[in-house]
Amino acid sequence: MDWIGNFKGEIAGLSAALIWAIASSIYVGLGKQMPPLILNFTKSGIAIGFILLTLLLLGEAPELSGMSVLLLGLSGAIGIGLGDTAFFASLNMLGARRALLFEALSPSMAAILAGLFLNELLGLQTWIGIALTLGGVAWVVVERTPDEPRDRSHLWRGVGFGFLAALGQAGGAVLSRAALAGTPVSPLWSTLIRLMAGVLILLIWMLAKRQSLRVFQPLRSPRFLAILALTAFCGTYLAIWLQQTALKFTATGIAQALTSTSPLFVIPIAFWAGERVSVRAILGATIALAGIWLLFNLR
């Protein structure tokens, strides 16, 4: 139990990655029926409902300062409002594996931003651990698979959205870390504030685009709504809560490196689904796991 307490941030980061891997696979299908902006707005709104219910049941009072609310609001606007929308767009254009490759860039971006703005400097061993983790993830993700889309006309747009998603996640993580580190703000309340800020930005975006209500038509399907609600519960409510827990209890670069291991968890999911898993994928996972082990053994 002491071991779990010492590494609660790292464990939370890996748990978030596992949940996000499953959710991303489902969002690929949902994204074919609903535009990225609307999908992000809807899943975030559903997650807010779950968080409010949880806070009501727990009776957890907020311990917030004006600066914490400001930082978390900016974090949600950038990371969830803009970053997640860009990620859903990249999912539609590049497919899950390539989109997740760009998400794997966010830990390095986050570590650099944290060093510049939070004076959160990482040692050489930590950078080696992050490099191994990201290298293993990248090697797994860039492998060509039969389910990759053949149409490459949207490739460069997808690449652009991928970079924007990674940058949004990195910026959101650094702002969250600034609000959470050394403060009494709980991960659950920080998750709620981030989601509400993200939804507000998305609502303004939708109004500016004069978005037609017809884009919400897929929600009339009970099956679609049930799948979306379950995915939002796991992939947004739980995953972001766990991400915030990781950012509160470990360094920004480490937290983002661990939460970006989602592609590794796709391997056992694919194997369980009866898909062929290559030797390259297994080797890449082994390299990334070595990086994770190094991150866990730096203390």
pLDDT in tens, 137-151: 777 766 665 555 555
Task: For residue 36, give the nearest of 82, 99, 73 by alpha carbon.
Answer: 82
Mean pLDDT value across residues 266-287: 74
Structural domain count of the chain = 1
- List Cβ neighbours of 213 (8 Å cut-off, separation of 6 or more): none
Highest mean pLDDT among 100-114, 223-237, 255-269: 223-237
Query: Average of pLDDT values for 88-105?
Result: 76
120 or 83, greater pLDDT: 83
Q: How confident is the model at residue 93 (pLDDT cuts 50, 70, 90)?
A: confident
Task: State how far the Cα of 145 lies from the Cα of 126, in Å rounded to an integer.
Answer: 32
Q: Which of 247, 235, 169 is nearest to 16 (CA)?
A: 235
**pLDDT score, position 6:** 65
Token look-up 């884009």 returns 215
CA distance 120 to 253: 9
Rounded Cα distance, 132 and 87, in Å: 24
pLDDT in tens, 200-245: 999 999 999 888 888 899 999 999 999 999 999 998 899 988 988 8
| pLDDT score recorded for residue 144 | 63
- Please state the pTM of the whole predicted model: 0.81
Range of the domain at 63: 2-296
